[in-house]
């Protein structure tokens, strides 16, 4: 619920100009909200009088003021180098990630943008024991997948993922013989980004931001496209983590304390850029 404090509002129209749905009018010198509100918060964030109040499910104590721009400024070179040094980590210590760090990771996801501000994402954190339980199920699912009859739309991933089945068969064999996990890499934790089926865009935004926080905490992560596919293909896996009807694991990543230290960045191909 959004209300406007009539004592504070001066009818300047700043909120009206920034509203993405043209939901605000200025009536009798005061801002008035209509019925098409996305609850995006632009009106509250831009109001010079701090006259807009979000109630209901929103906690007003979370609001931050721009009292010092330096607090929210990251030098472009520093941000770019931070991303340059990130690695997909596939070696982890046995140390689990603490609850405080997990809370910061999820908080990063909570503040990530979603289409039409629908905020449809929820998260499931898998512990080491749960990961070990689902590993053989996921490996078997991928190794035995009938790639010729797969509903490619159900994959929610590029069709070329299906070209990896020979690798999955090998991973399944290695796990059966040596109990070596080449899928989840023996990670202590995994994070499932859960939303309504077909909501891959919001999941991708979330995954990128979540990994940034994981790296900022000195942890490491690896995006699990194959794990995401396993959840799409296996009713047993979906049941195990308690997905509701119409929900899907939009994306999965494993994370933990890195067992390896990377000493330098690596090369990337030149960006393909056109200006039209």
Residue pLDDT, tens place only, 190-240: 999 999 988 889 999 999 999 999 999 999 999 999 999 999 999 999 999
Domain limits, the chain: 2-62, 76-256
Phi (first) and psi of residue 209, to 5 degrees: -70, -40
Residue 143 backbone dihedrals phi, psi, to 5 degrees: -65, -35
* CATH fold group of domain 76-256: NADH Oxidase (3.40.109)
- Given a contact cutoff of 8 angstroms between Cβ atoms, the answer to whether 184 and 128 are in contact is no
Which residues have C-beta within 8 Å of that of residue 67, sequence separation ≥ 6?
none
* C-alpha–C-alpha distance, residues 49 and 5, integer Å: 9
pLDDT digits (tens, 9 = 90+) for 118-162: 999 999 999 999 999 999 999 999 999 887 777 766 665 666 777
Q: What pLDDT is attached to residue 4?
A: 94
pTM for the complete prediction? 0.90
Average pLDDT over residues 112-118: 92
Q: How crowded is residue 12: how many other Cβ atoms within 10 Å of its Cβ?
A: 16
Lowest-confidence range among 97-111, 147-161, 203-217, 258-272? 147-161
CA nearest 114: which of 47, 211, 200, 213? 200
CATH topology of domain 2-62: Alpha-Beta Plaits (3.30.70)
Among 2-6, 104-108, 148-152, name the most confident range: 104-108
Q: Please check whether residue 48 is in contact with residue 14, taking contact to mean a CB–CB distance below 8 angstroms.
A: yes
């Amino acid at each position: 619920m959004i209300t406007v404090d009539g004592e504070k509002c001066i009818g300047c129209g700043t909120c009206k100009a920034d509203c993405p749905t043209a939901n605000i009018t200025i009536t009798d010198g005061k801002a008035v909200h209509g019925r098409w509100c996305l609850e995006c918060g632009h009106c509250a964030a831009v109001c010079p009088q701090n006259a807009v109040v979000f109630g209901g499910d929103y906690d007003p104590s979370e609001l931050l003021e721009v009292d010092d721009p330096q607090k929210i400024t990251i030098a472009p070179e520093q941000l770019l180098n931070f991303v340059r040094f990130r690695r997909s980590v596939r070696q982890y210590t046995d140390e689990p990630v603490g609850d405080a760090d997990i809370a910061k990771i999820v908080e990063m996801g909570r503040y990530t943008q979603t289409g039409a501000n629908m905020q449809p994402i929820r998260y499931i954190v898998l512990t080491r024991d749960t990961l070990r339980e689902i590993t053989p199920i996921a490996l078997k699912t991928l190794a035995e997948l009938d790639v010729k009859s797969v509903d490619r739309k159900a994959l929610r991933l590029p069709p070329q993922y299906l070209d990896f089945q020979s690798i999955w068969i090998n991973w399944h064999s290695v796990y059966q013989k040596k109990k070596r996990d080449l899928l989840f890499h023996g990670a202590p934790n995994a994070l499932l980004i859960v939303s309504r089926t077909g909501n891959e865009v919001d999941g991708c935004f979330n995954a990128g931001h979540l990994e940034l926080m994981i790296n900022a905490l000195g942890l490491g992560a690896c995006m699990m496209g194959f794990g995401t596919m396993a959840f799409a293909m296996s009713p047993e896996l979906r049941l195990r983590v308690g997905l509701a009807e119409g929900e899907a694991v939009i994306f999965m990543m494993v994370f933990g304390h890195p067992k390896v230290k990377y000493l330098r960045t690596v090369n990337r191909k030149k960006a393909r850029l056109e200006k039209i």
